[in-house]
Amino acid sequence: MTLNGKTLVITGAASGIGAETARLARFQGATVIGMDRNDPMITLDEFVNVDMAVPDAIDTAVAALPDRIDGLVNAAGVSGLADCDLVARVNYLGLRHLTEALVPRLKGGAVVNVASILGVDWPARLGAHRALSETQDFASGLGWLAANPVPQETCYQYFKEALIVWTKKRGYRLFMDHDIRMNAVAPGPVMTPILGEFVQMLGEERVAADAENIKRPAIADEVAPPILFLCSDAARWVTGISLPVDGGIDALYT
């Protein structure tokens, strides 16, 4: 697998999965443009500051990107300890807004969304997730959520579910209409700076129960390679999937 000659845009590039994906992509020959609200701690070819919760800020950032890109990795996100409105904006609406804005520049390219194994129950709320996915823009998405409020305590899981459904539904049309492949990866626990927030979010009892069924949390450099595989030409016939990268957690649900 090689990324020689490809230009990738990676959100959340300042830390965690986004930073490790950016580092590996450059090692594999890609030109990497990082996007984040925080300054990066790794070497990038370019960096664009952006607040993924604000559509106008996303539009300003898009104007700074090149006319042609080969891949977009949506790795930016906040934990469920953040206010539900912020989780909705960053983990779903802002991600969607950025992706749609870049469609004209991505012909023949790839999009990879970082979802979560916590989104595994998306079939149980498929109708709601479909309805949200059909809203036309950031503002109408906010309007739908105002009319269909999401509980704070499960908002992280909810928007990861919604992201998986949008990846599948929109991914099909992007491939058919624009030759763009859009997929998701669904990690389990990962050793990143916000892992402690997930322990707080889920509760120590749930985390202890889950820990008995897994070998250990992942390292970010174990999640980055599958992401970049989906960005590469080796995955040219893969679209609309959510790939578990979780050390076997998904298998427990069968």
For the stretch 133-174, pLDDT in tens is 999 999 999 999 999 999 999 999 999 999 999 999 999 999
Nearest to 77 by CA among 92, 67, 58, 63: 92
Range list of β-strands (E), the chain: 7-11, 31-36, 46-49, 71-74, 110-114, 181-187, 190-191, 218-219, 242-245
pLDDT, residue 48, reads 98
Residue 114: strand pairing partners: 185
Q: Measuring CA to CA, how many Å separate 148 from each of 25, 54, 90, 117, 128?
A: 39, 21, 18, 24, 9
How many H helices and E strands in the chain?
11, 9
Full set of structural domains in the chain with CATH:
7-248 (3.40.50.720)
pLDDT greater at residue 24 or residue 213: 24
Instruction: Tell me the C-alpha distance between 150 and 147, whole Å.
Output: 10
Is residue 207 over pLDDT 70?
no
Least confident window among 46-50, 117-121, 125-129, 163-167:
117-121
Q: What is the pLDDT of residue 74?
A: 98
Catalytic residues: 156
DSSP-assigned states of every residue in 164-209:
HHHHHHHHHHHHHHH--EEEEEEE-SEESTTHHHHHHHH-HHHHHH
pTM of the model: 0.93
Q: Nearest-5° angle of CA 175, CA 253, CA 225? A: 50
Q: Let me know the angle formed at the C-alpha of 32 by 29 and 33, rounded to the nearest 5 degrees.
A: 170
Residues 29/35/41/42 CA torsion (nearest 10 deg): 0
Q: Decide: 20 and 44 in contact? Cβ < 8 Å.
A: no
Identify the pLDDT of residue 124. 96
